[in-house]
Amino acid sequence: MSSVRRRIIVTGGAGFLGSHLCERLIGGGADVLCVDNYFTGRKENVASLLPLPQFEAMRHDITHPLFVEVDEIYNLACPASPIHYQFDPVQTTKTSVIGAINMLGLAKRLKARIFQASTSEVYGDPNLHPQPESYRGNVNPIGPRACYDEGKRCAETLFFDYFRQHQLKIRVARIFNTYGPRMHPNDGRVVSNFIVQALRGAPITLYGDGTQTRAFCYVDDLVDGFVKLMAAPDTITGPINLGNPVETSIVELAGLVIELTGSRSKIVPRSLPVDDPVQRCPDITEAERILG
């Protein structure tokens, strides 16, 4: 018999990060099953993969159990931008928590490795900079962002309980702001927001005074980190920060976008949303040490 190809599920595979990951895994010789309910994902994101025999797309909501046979699971399903995750906050928590339980149950039955797309939002509005993995965070459990932050925190709890209780092979990545092609144009995230506003010649909306900083990672670099973490020895569970540690202030980003697009847009101030962190920057010492 010829060598058997790895079969991999990517939940949220039709989303921004998921579609890049599907491409990368197929390029690496795997068969990919993309599982998505198309809440924020789009078929166009995986249109180039649909004709390939190595790729299969399945419309499914991970809050319901799934029975398939695979070797590895990447769990990315969850709306990631505040506009989308606050649209139906109860569903957001269900996707993070019940979705994790369903995917962990599948991994347990199949003895499959499972990767969780966690987030820097588990650190909340941090009072430590940059944030190492040991930092426990400053999260408001009852605010409008809690459905996402606490949902993701609970998902991490479940991953580590399945690891301790059932010896599951887990990998937990805490993803920091990432940008690149196929970000949803209307999802309110700052890079896509500014670029779309600049291209339309519309006012560039700057929340607060713009001195708050973010650290932006390019999608290909992030996906490298995913694949390396999954390929690492099973003793490496994470959580591990993945992102770019170079900070940019939001006002600097606005200026850069205006310059690069040659736009005539003007910057207009808006008040800062509730619980919006003032600074967010990963400490990636662990990723550098373990994943190179």
Ligand X SMILES: NC(=O)c1ccc[n+]([C@@H]2O[C@H](COP(=O)([O-])OP(=O)(O)OC[C@H]3O[C@@H](n4cnc5c(N)ncnc54)[C@H](O)[C@@H]3O)[C@@H](O)[C@H]2O)c1
Interface with ligand X by CB under 6 A: which residues? 11-12, 14-18, 36-41, 61-63, 76-80, 95, 99, 117, 119, 175, 177-178, 184
Those residues whose C-beta lies under 8 Å from the C-beta of residue 185, and which sit 6 or more positions away, are: 192, 196
Give all strands (DSSP E) within 27-138, no chain letters. Answer: 31-36, 55-59, 72-75, 113-119
Q: Min. distance of Cβ 54 from ligand X in angstroms?
A: 19
Q: Which of 74, 123, 148, 179 is catalytic?
A: 148
| 80 versus 206: smaller Cβ distance to ligand X | 80
| 188 versus 203: smaller Cβ distance to ligand X | 188
Q: d(Cα 200, Cα 79) in Å, to the nearest integer?
A: 25
Q: Min. distance of Cβ 5 from ligand X in angstroms?
A: 24
Could you tell me the end-to-end alpha-carbon distance of the chain, in angstroms, rounded to an integer?
35
Q: Min. distance of Cβ 184 from ligand X in angstroms?
A: 6
Q: Min. distance of Cβ 264 from ligand X in angstroms?
A: 29
Q: d(Cα 82, Cα 269) in Å, to the nearest integer?
A: 19
| 26 versus 203: smaller Cβ distance to ligand X | 26
207 is catalytic: no
Q: d(Cα 115, Cα 173) in Å, to the nearest integer?
A: 8
| 7 versus 184: smaller Cβ distance to ligand X | 184
For residue 125, the 8-state DSSP code is: S
Q: Cα Rg for the chain, rounded, in angstroms?
A: 19
Nearest to 284 by CA among 229, 242, 223: 242
| 203 versus 277: smaller Cβ distance to ligand X | 277
Q: Min. distance of Cβ 53 from ligand X in angstroms?
A: 22
Nearest to 286 by CA among 245, 227, 234, 231: 245
**Residues classed as catalytic:** 148
